């Protein structure tokens, strides 16, 4: 079965307009933004870690 060329062109335009994915994995950036040492710097961050500890989370931070 042949696909209509007009539909195919529209679909390609749709994909191009959508752009690239927003999540571009980077472990160093992830650690700097969500890591343990960053959490321990502030009182609020320490509260987050303590809350996760009390809940029994396996991972406290990223």
33 within domain boundaries: yes
CATH number, domain of 61, equals: 1.10.287.3980
Strands (E), the chain: none
50 within domain boundaries: yes
12 within domain boundaries: no
10 within domain boundaries: no
Q: Give pLDDT, residue 1.
A: 57
By residue range, what is the domain housing residue 57?
25-62
62 within domain boundaries: yes
pLDDT beneath 50: ranges in the chain: none
29 within domain boundaries: yes
Predicted model pTM? 0.62
What would you report as the CA-atom Rg of the chain, rounded to the nearest whole angstrom?
Answer: 22
State how far the Cα of 26 lies from the Cα of 37, in Å rounded to an integer: 17
Structural domains counted in the chain:
1
Q: Give pLDDT, residue 3.
A: 63
20 within domain boundaries: no
Query: Cβ(16)–Cβ(8) under 8 Å?
Result: no
Question: Which pair of tokens denotes residue 22?
Answer: 């927003």
């Amino acid at each position: 079965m042949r696909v209509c060329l007009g539909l195919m062109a529209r679909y390609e335009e749709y994909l191009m307009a959508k752009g690239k994915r927003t999540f571009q994995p980077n472990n160093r950036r992830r650690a700097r933004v969500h890591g343990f040492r960053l959490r321990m710097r502030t009182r609020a961050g320490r509260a987050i870690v303590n809350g996760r500890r009390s809940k029994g989370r396996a991972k406290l931070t990223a």
